[in-house]
Amino acid sequence: MPISFDNLHLQIMPLEDFPLKWRFNDEKYDRLPDIHLEQLQPLKKEASNFVWNFVITSGLTEALPFKKDFFKTIDQLKMELHDEKDIKKWLYHRGLPFEKKVILSWQPDEAMIVP
């Protein structure tokens, strides 16, 4: 079955096998609580590559922060100036439900689904 956004959730690897796991579970980098670590869903290389190729071929990142007219509205928040409560409130006011999954992509073979 070809990888798609509909079946991406089936392409999960254990966090221990994820090359960037240290960003989340290393004490030196403000380790996340276990309850949050359990919610992280690192994608296998093939699925990560699917996400990377989608971003590249869509032209999403042709300009900073995103391709002109790709989105109707672009809102920004300087995270370092706000605490977690402020950030949650900001996301909520943009219509992003807390249970909505987000895909993070670092490199062609490194991506993750996060809550």
According to the model, what pLDDT value does residue 89 have? 85
According to the model, what pLDDT value does residue 24 have? 93
Q: Residue ranges per domain, the chain?
A: 11-114
Mean pLDDT per block of 10 residues along the chain (115 residues) reads: 94 97 92 93 98 92 79 80 81 77 93 93
According to the model, what pLDDT value does residue 48 have? 98
The answer to whether 73 touches 13, Cβ cutoff 8 Å, is: no
Report if pTM > 0.75: yes
According to the model, what pLDDT value does residue 59 have? 86
The answer to whether 51 touches 73, Cβ cutoff 8 Å, is: no
